[in-house]
Chains A and B, each alone.
Chain A
Amino acid sequence: SPLVSSGFRRKMRVKEILRAATQAWSPAPQHPTYLALGTAAQQLDASFNTSSALEIFEMDFADTSLDMKLRGTLPTSNRFHSLIWVAFDPEGSSGRLIGGSESGSVTVFSPDAILCAGEDAVIGQSHKHTGPVRALDYNRFQSNLVASGASDSEIYIWDLNSFSNPMTPGTKSQPAEDVSVVAWNSQVQHILASANPSGKAIVWDLRKNEPIIKISDHSNRMHCSGMLWHPEVATQLLLASEDDRLPVIQMWDLRFATSPLKVLESHTRGVLSISWSQADPELLLSSGKDNRILCWNPNTGEVIYELPTANQWCFDVQWCPRNPALLSAASFDGRISVYSVMGGRLQQRSDPFGTGQALPPLQVPQPSEETVIVPPLKKPPKWVRRPVGASFAFGGKLVTFENPTAAAQQQPIARQVQVSQVTTETEFLQRSAELQAALQSGSFTSFCHDKIRSAPSDAEQDIWRFLTVNFEDEARVKFLRLLGFSKDELQRKVSHLNTALNITNHYRIFRTITDTDGLISQALLVGNFEGAVDLCLNDGRYAEAILLSISGGEELLKKTQQHYLQRQTNMVTQNWRDIVQSCELDNWKEALAALLTYANPEEFAPLCDTLGSRLQAGGTEKRCLQACLCFICSGNIERLVECWTSQRDCSSPLALEDLVEKVMVLRKSIERLRSGEVCVQSSALTERLVQYSSILASQGSLTSALRYLPDCPDQVHTLIHIYTVYSDIRSEPLVYRIYNMHGPSSETWFKPFAQSGPLGAPMGFMSGPSMPCSPPGPMMPAPPPPGFISPTSLPGGPVPLFPAAPHAQAPAPPPAGAYPPLGAGYPQGGPGAPGAKSFSAGILPPPTGTCRHQEEPLNTAVSHICLPENYTPPAPITAPVMGFPAEAPGPQDRVQVPPGAPQEPSIQSLQQLPAEHVEQKEIPAEHMILKTTFSSLVQRCQLAAADPLYQRLPASGLPDPRTVSSPKPSQNLHNQPMFPPSNHS
């Protein structure tokens, strides 16, 4: 069976079926690809079967078998001389099949109807032609126009939209003879050519409705079997001769139509069929009676391929319009075969194991099949020549090339490849550059201020404010202010307090300021002192509670005192850990303020971290931001990173930039305090920095990328590292020889990842903990404990990160100078240390008794409250307090003052106190607490008037004599214990 032998060439012969048929490929846009086969006229098989049909087969190339899949059949009354498939597509159909029959009919079929076995498969039929219709072609520009040619010189132009009335291109040519071919010009839509078996071709102009040129080589031996217009050159056409005496293909150019431009001579017997590839005009197929199928480059006349085909004439060859490597060939042995011109192994019928051993040929003799390997087309077809390409490379580079179109290839072309930088993260790069600039210039304050200005949220703004403070003087005060203990806030509180005091005395009506305040006020208004005291206690306002309880009677006072003492034990013993561990999270500000004010330097950072951890554990975004503030205060970069990333997805470049900015600035501020470089060994940070570097590198900023890489023994390593991170490839401890990008092509041997851990340890994003950190890079001089800068390493002061920078590095004005009126400080952390709320700030009463509130009236409701000149706290409250023994602030209290705290002025002022106030001696020891509390109240007043007071301070920074002679014991909360004057350190 012939089909058995087909297995030989399965790589070249793609599909095959036994049919004696006229063929038509589905148009290029059609998917899947079909092949329509109409029973061929004038061919009978051995059974003399005269039935005829139009069949549609699907070319399923995913199916590796040779079978075509029959998808539709339509029995027809006539056999086909010609068949075309037109991409006539009025309703998105698969077009039209048009058949020319031996009886002279032209029939229009609907392929869709045939495919679905519908009834309306025949759309139109005409019997205008008197003889067999051998020629059919469709117009390339107007697919509704179809030309047909038959015997007796008949040519009709059909309009598929109104099929019944064909036109003629002009007067019939004489003498009347068969029309063997019609062909529409590919470039000019109104030009049609027809050819006769006699070898004459006529070109018609349909606008003029007449023939415009006749072509004949006068040899009288051309018997036109085929005619084709050049796909791209309007004036050129090919004529194929089936005469064995002249088995040629002539190329004519109408610009010189007296003789053929070129003659393609290779067939030894008549040419039966030609097909010009629409995908590559340099590919022309021809089949001849010499059993050969040739592929030519018609422009050069060279045969570039010979299909090793059957030993039978092939009367029709056609390129597949959709799949440019395929052609179908219909041979007189009743076979339709689909071939690929891409070559392949011929006699490799069953070689599934790829041994490459050829099997012996089954059919002998077949000279053409002795060749084992059929090479592809000598000239690579256009459709395999990749014209353009773009490939990404390391560092966001894109390598692109293109090739000019054929038309432009006349002049010499520069064959160029371009390397481009693809930048997708412009904002990221810009911000990164700004950060880099700030890091290099050291202009952190302005950087931070820019950040504050542009901060998208309050939380963000807070963080930047905190970060800024680290670079400023009087950082501690500013921290406190940032925590909300601002002048205004205190004024408000003080005025409210005063209001409350006045009410206590005069039962005046005041306005609700806060909820709790309102409740307290209401309680007071109704004379419910006990309730008011409870409210105060619950709210942590011990001072108010005690003051109020005084008015509420002995019992209430006692109870309140008890309660207060209980609560304040921590304060007294300075058990800060308990405080930060047990305080209400809502009171985090107070707790942090307390730490800022009182905590022992060695404990400060851990305490801040503890508080931060608690806030972070709160889980909400708000709490985490608060935690971040704590970590900024403590200078714990690692925890900051951890906390920040716990709430935010830092995978996006900008989010990462947000984080890195903060970290770098914080690190710089620590470095500023320490006057040295800071190394943070934190896996979380390392991971982020590697990620950050990767993004920088991916955007082409390799130099910047290098700066952030936590470990960079050398730059080459780093680049590999970045790359490895990129590709997320697992590293092997292998020795690479690579070229140093940054050196003059010096070769470097190194083990990039060897030290990173066990063989095959994952590298990259996920490998933070195993990141090789052993060789300290330039940025990481020495690995200190993670996230914590040892206070002992701080020259000039024990304060870790904490805003002591200017004082630590340079002689600072003594605190007394900075806050002279407060100079007569109270021993911080002593038994009288105020509750959390009281830490907000220390305020002394105006030493001169001047009413500070006159200048700055508060809200309308309280503006009338103005303390008189020579203000002293209201008598009903102060009296009991003043009755306490004066020895309250004993040495024991002072001992508990954090080392370096400004005790001296406090002691001095305390020593001066008794001289001024005789009543103090009357204060019993057990009431000392109340005295302290009262002092704290006084401080609030002081703070309220803080600014004007400061303005009047002597520039020398010496204590104001009026302060020294203050009539009241005072507490200098502004003298930060953490903030020793230089003479103390």
Chain B
Amino acid sequence: MISYISICIKINEMTYFVSVINTVDTSHEDMIHDAQMDYYGTRLATCSSDRSVKIFDVKNGGQILVADLRGHEGPVWQVAWAHPMYGNILASCSYDRKVIIWKEENGTWDKMYEYTGHDSSVNSVCWGPYDFGLFLACGSSDGAISVLTCSGDGHWDIKKINNAHTIGCNAVSWAPAVVPGSLIEQPTGQKPNYIKRFVSGGCDNLVKLWKEEDGQWKEDQKLEAHSDWVRDVGWAPSIGLPTSTIASCSRDGRVFIWTCDDPAGNTWTAKLLHKFNDAVWHVSWSITGKILAVSGGDNKVTLWKESVDGQWACISDVNKGQGAVTSITDSQQNEQ
């Protein structure tokens, strides 16, 4: 069944490789819905419809099951690692309407906090920039978005945005801590006036931007381009340029790249990255913010890179073959 072709595409005389360096057998008993590496790339957290969250040590290409976290009563949709400065903390969200924050203490993982404030499936969790504390956004099918902030004494403050997305919110993603362009404009050593912002996508086909003002969350922008549920949104890491970039993907098969050059953050323009034949489920930016991984409903993962002229080009279909991957050249590719 699983037979894939490794494709290595040459664009502008550049060659791109995707090679499997480790295959982790999770032993999940049902569908896997998310897999995330920790900050250092040494631990892998997975979650599944089998209601479990697993943590693996994947150092040096190995796999050691560190924890099998049980606590959810439904499929677990997403996991998110907090920044290590707060310890080893993982958040998970589930169809059971709960968000569980897990923490490792003395080598043992336990529930640190359980949030049950949503009335429906919690589809997405995302930790905010660590510079500004330990806080988590959660998007739910009940249409609401919650922002949980750890106040330090084990207590969590909850702020909830009701009716953020009609029919449901599918994804949340925080803006990077660095205000676009601030690296250029800000004098060294001066802390930028960071406004907490995040983006969300929902079943109302909308991408919405939210910002905190006087402790209240306000809808900042409403981006319309998709014609079906927005499945995922991803705010690109800042690379110091005065541009904010957001990727959004939808059941309509479209992936849009939203950019905003305006310092006030009011003018967003959409560029269609690609229209896929199937629903698109997930987008993920590389740490350098230059490559976008797009996961589609047809089990395909493609990597995209912006060329010099601003066009997005697919640089690779990610190989999922078993074992090591060999890249093939143009000529070999033509032979196939």
> Which residues of chain A have a CB within 8 Å of any CB of chain B?
10-11, 14, 31-32, 61-64, 322-323, 325-326, 340, 342-345, 351-352, 354, 356, 373-376, 380, 383-405, 408, 414-427, 694, 698, 719, 723, 726-730, 732, 734-739, 741, 745, 757-758, 760-762, 764-767, 769-770
Contacts and interface: CB of A to CB of B under 8 A. Distances in A.
A723 B161 CA distance: 33
Interface string B244-256: 0000000110000
B176 interface: yes
Contacts, number: 322
B167 A729 contact: no
A399 B45 CA distance: 10
B34 to A, nearest CB: 6
Nearest to A32: B227
B58 A419 contact: yes
B40 A418 contact: no
B265 interface: no
Nearest to B146: A354
A393 B228 CA distance: 29
A384 B121 contact: yes
Nearest to A356: B117
Nearest to A413: B1
A62 B35 contact: no
Contacts of A420: 18-21, 318-319, 325
Given A389-B35, A418-B20, A422-B291, A427 B58 contact: no
Contacts of B35: 389, 391, 399-401, 417
Contact of B95 (A384, A405, A766): A384
A393 B285 CA distance: 9
Contacts of B77: 384, 386
Contact of B17 (A384, A423, A760, A761): A423
Interface stretch (B123-131, B148-156, B266-274): B123-131
A770 to B, nearest CB: 6
B282 A729 contact: no
B239 A352 contact: no
Contacts of B198: none
7 contacts: A61-B204, A386-B77, A395-B41, A415-B30, A415-B48, A417-B46, A422-B17
B24 A354 contact: no
A392 B293 contact: yes
A388 B279 CA distance: 11
Contacts of A422: 16-18, 286, 291, 303, 316
Contacts of B1: 404, 408
Nearest to A744: B59
Interface in B266-322: 281-282, 284-288, 290-291, 293-297, 299-301, 303, 305, 315-316, 318-320
Interface in B1-45: 1-2, 13-37, 39-42, 44
A728 B41 contact: no
B25 A416 contact: yes
B278 to A, nearest CB: 10
A46 to B, nearest CB: 32
Nearest to B239: A728
B183 interface: yes
B333 interface: no
Interface string B36-73: 11011110101011000000011100000000000000
Interface in B76-93: 77, 84-85, 87
B162 A351 contact: yes
B242 interface: no
Contact of B320 (A343, A354, A391, A402): A402
Nearest to B129: A729
B170 to A, nearest CB: 9
A387 B40 CA distance: 26
Interface in B109-135: 117, 119-121, 123, 129-131
A11 B301 contact: no
A155 to B, nearest CB: 35
B98 to A, nearest CB: 12
A62 B167 contact: no
Given A11-B119, A388-B299, A729-B131, 4 more contacts: A389-B35, A391-B37, A415-B29, A734-B85
B205 A394 contact: no
A139 to B, nearest CB: 23
Given A737-B84, A761-B189, A392 B287 contact: yes
B119 A343 contact: yes
Nearest to B321: A418
Contacts of B97: 375
B139 interface: no
Nearest to A732: B131
Contact of A741 (B59, B189, B286): B59
B299 A345 contact: no
A420 to B, nearest CB: 5
B21 A419 contact: yes
Contact of B281 (A375, A386, A425, A758): A386
A390 to B, nearest CB: 4
B142 A11 contact: yes
B40 A738 contact: yes
A427 B12 CA distance: 12
Contacts of B296: 388
A345 B120 CA distance: 8
A306 to B, nearest CB: 15
By CB atoms of chain A within 10 A, which of B46, B162, B204, B287 has the most?
B287
**Best-surrounded residue of B30, B224, B301 (most CB of chain A within 10 A):** B301
Given A344-B119, A728-B240, A730-B191, A400 B318 contact: yes
A-B pairs, 10 with minimum CB distance: A393-B37, A354-B160, A31-B227, A394-B41, A61-B204, A419-B22, A342-B141, A415-B28, A390-B293, A390-B301
Contacts of A392: 284-287, 291, 293
A739 to B, nearest CB: 6
B85 A736 contact: yes
B229 interface: yes
A702 B188 CA distance: 28
A760 B182 CA distance: 13
A31 B228 contact: yes
B108 to A, nearest CB: 15
Contacts of A386: 31, 33-34, 77, 281-282
A337 to B, nearest CB: 14
Contacts of A764: 183, 240
Contacts of A63: 166
A769 B192 CA distance: 19
A761 B224 CA distance: 38
A415 B282 contact: no
A729 B189 contact: no
B48 to A, nearest CB: 7
Given A399-B37, A402-B320, A764-B240, A757 B189 contact: yes
A388 B301 contact: yes
Contacts of A326: 167
A345 B25 CA distance: 39
A876 B159 CA distance: 102
Contacts of A418: 20, 22-24, 320
Nearest to B141: A342
A350 to B, nearest CB: 10
B178 interface: yes
A401 B1 CA distance: 15
A394 B2 CA distance: 27
A424 B282 contact: no
B203 A325 contact: yes
B201 interface: no
Nearest to A378: B74
B32 A340 contact: no
Nearest to B282: A389
Interface string B184-226: 1010110110000000000111100000000000000010100
